[in-house]
Amino acid sequence: MNLPRGESLQSITQNHGDLSKNVAFQLRLRQALVAAQESAKQAALLMIDFDRRENVDADDVNLFPAFLEMVGSRLSGALSHSDAVCRLTGGETAVLLPSLRNPEEASLVAKAILEKVEQPFLLSGLRVDVRPRIGIAMFPQHSTTAPGLMQCAETALIKARRTKQSFVMYSAEQNQAQRQALRLSELRQAIVRDQLFLLYQPKVNLKSGAIAGLEVLTRWQHPEHGLILPDEFIPLAERTGLIIPLALWVLHRSLVQCRKWSDLGIDLGVAVNLSMWNLEALELPEQIAGLLKGVGVASRKLELEITESVIMDDPHRVMRTMKAIKDLGVTFTIDDFGTGYSSLAHLKKFPVTCIKIDKSFVRNMETDKDDAVIVRSLIELAHNLGLKVVAEGVETVEAKEMLKEYGCDEAQGYYFSRPVPTSDITRFFNASPTPPPRESYDDIQQISPSID
């Protein structure tokens, strides 16, 4: 796992491919913590991610791996021979500094990494600007275990993203309730003991005003800490492998509910989010086929939402998995489109039928002309490629009308409905099988405003 100077990050991730690379890195981390304890030294774990990868989208699936290789080469110039690096699922990079005297040395390494990586890249003739964020956790000050140190570093990285700082050193004050709630054993028990529950947010056909489908959203009702949102527990699930049983639990519960609605004469499909961990599982197509057959739901009623980063992490493998699932009759949507590093021209190579324009563009398009131009252009380009377009984050009637004018197919957001429980969707359709565009949505919107 050591990264000698001059060796690229890409070669490291190839040597430790798929799920094993995370396990191998955690083993290396545990060994380093034992060695640091015996030598009375300190150790640091750095989590690195990028807010922006402009132009890393381009014309072939080899561009993003080439970008990672260049990042790795620059990282090697800022690290010593004893340091270790691993690219984690989701595009984040973990850096282990196994022998330090104090936290200031970790901060100096973080600054050296930033100095190397912040410089623009030249990749296939394209200038690529990146904005790295780093979260730092120290052994033994912040945690004495490998999983705990990774969680602390992730918490610091989240703060770096939110506060737009280049790097953040973890402190116990950083979301203490989150740190206490999100223990691996508790999340595992939450799945087993049904502490998790699903909410549904309608997607609305902008021409007819009818509900076109439902996005499934997962929540965790913790017995001590109350309601926990996905942003707090999904990262833990991804890093520990629990995202695989969690996703299967969500898929099963969603399809069971879809069947119940179908038995009531309510023809609704569900959209479930998947992560890179799920698409790395070779058995996923077979598992989905088994769930559809076992529950008795037509494949057309299941839609899978994935982000751009999921596709670009391992394009060839993802392509194979997606095609196998598409052959079942299941459709794919690219979620949060516009915030990643792909393009419509690139995505046309993948078996997707829809894109969802990220809410960061939609929410401001009434007052921001640039956002309005981006939204309109994305709609036109997607339609030219034969893709359906859904707009997220619609909160006003003005935004809805602009999207209708631009020819957007569907929309979702608080203007129509907050995420609501199963019972509210059932009651809504029993009262109004073919809902008008606005007035009836108030019935949904007002029921559970506090659970989102």
Does 313 share its domain with 165?
A: no
**Closest CA relative to residue 32, chosen from 149, 141, 135:** 149
- Centre a 10 Å sphere on the Cβ of residue 122 and count the other Cβ atoms it contains: 10
Domain that holds residue 218: 184-445
Does 217 share its domain with 320?
A: yes
Does 351 share its domain with 208?
A: yes
Answer yes or no: is 41 within a domain.
Answer: yes
**207 confidence band (pLDDT: 50, 70, 90):** very high
Does 211 share its domain with 165?
A: no
Q: How much is the average pLDDT of 271-292?
A: 91
CATH of the domain at 404: 3.20.20.450
pLDDT of residue 433: 44
**392 confidence band (pLDDT: 50, 70, 90):** very high
Q: Check residues 422 and 444 and name the one with the higher pLDDT.
A: 422
Answer yes or no: is 451 within a domain.
Answer: no
User: pLDDT tens digit string along 423-435?
Assistant: 889 888 876 544 4
Q: Check residues 445 and 4 and name the one with the higher pLDDT.
A: 445
Q: Given 128, 156, 174, which residue is the final one in a domain? A: 174
Does 257 share its domain with 398?
A: yes
pLDDT at 277 exceeding the cut of 90 = no
- Coil/strand/helix, residue 85: strand
pLDDT at 182 exceeding the cut of 60 = no
Lay out the sheet containing 167-169: strands in order across: 84-87, 93-100, 42-53, 130-139, 167-169
pLDDT of residue 443: 42
Q: Given 129, 148, 174, which residue is the final one in a domain? A: 174
**40 confidence band (pLDDT: 50, 70, 90):** confident
pLDDT of residue 431: 64
Answer yes or no: is 4 within a domain.
Answer: no
Q: Which single residue is written with the structure tokens 């993948």? A: 350
pLDDT at 3 exceeding the cut of 70 = no
| Distance in angstroms (rounded) separating the CA atoms of residues 249 and 192 | 10
Answer yes or no: is 36 within a domain.
Answer: yes
Tally DSSP H helices, then E strands, for the chain. 19, 16
Answer yes or no: is 452 within a domain.
Answer: no
Answer yes or no: is 388 within a domain.
Answer: yes
Assign residue 304 a region (left: φ > 0; alpha: ψ between -120 and 50; beta: otherwise).
beta
Q: Average model confidence (pLDDT) for the chain?
A: 80
Tokens of 83: 């340091």
Number of structural domains (the chain) is 2
pLDDT at 356 exceeding the cut of 70 = yes
- Centre a 10 Å sphere on the Cβ of residue 376 and count the other Cβ atoms it contains: 17
Q: Given 174, 194, 225, which residue is the final one in a domain? A: 174
Does 135 share its domain with 190?
A: no
Q: Under a CB-based contact definition with an 8 Å cutoff, are residues 35 and 59 in contact? A: no
Across 59-78, b (16+ Cβ under 10 Å) vs e yields eebebbbebbbbbbbbbbeb
List C-alpha distances in Å: 70 to 79, 122, 166, 172: 15, 9, 20, 35
Q: Check residues 322 and 151 and name the one with the higher pLDDT.
A: 322
| Distance in angstroms (rounded) separating the CA atoms of residues 196 and 217 | 10
Does 189 share its domain with 105?
A: no
| Distance in angstroms (rounded) separating the CA atoms of residues 4 and 339 | 33
Alpha helices in 16-145 (DSSP H): 20-38, 63-76, 103-117
Does 20 share its domain with 169?
A: yes
Q: Which residues pair with 208 in a beta bridge?
A: none
pLDDT at 16 exceeding the cut of 50 = no
Answer yes or no: is 179 within a domain.
Answer: no
Tokens of 87: 């690219």
The phi, psi pair for 311, rounded to 5°, reads -65, -45
Does 137 share its domain with 208?
A: no
Amino acid letter, residue 388: K
Q: Check residues 358 and 251 and name the one with the higher pLDDT.
A: 251
| Cβ-based neighbours of 141, under 8 Å, separated by 6 or more | 42, 103
pTM for the model stands at 0.59
Q: Which single residue is written with the structure tokens 């060695």? A: 35
Does 301 share its domain with 434?
A: yes
pLDDT of residue 413: 92
- Residue 221 class from Cβ within 10 Å (0-12 exposed, 13-18 middle, 19+ buried)? middle
CATH of the domain at 96: 3.30.70.270
Does 199 share its domain with 338?
A: yes
pLDDT of residue 126: 73
Does 221 share its domain with 260?
A: yes
Identify the weakest region by mean pLDDT among 70-79, 83-92, 252-261.
83-92
| Cβ-based neighbours of 378, under 8 Å, separated by 6 or more | 337, 338, 344, 355, 357, 361, 389
pLDDT of residue 51: 64
List C-alpha distances in Å: 416 to 83, 153, 395, 399, 407: 51, 38, 8, 12, 18
pLDDT of residue 30: 84
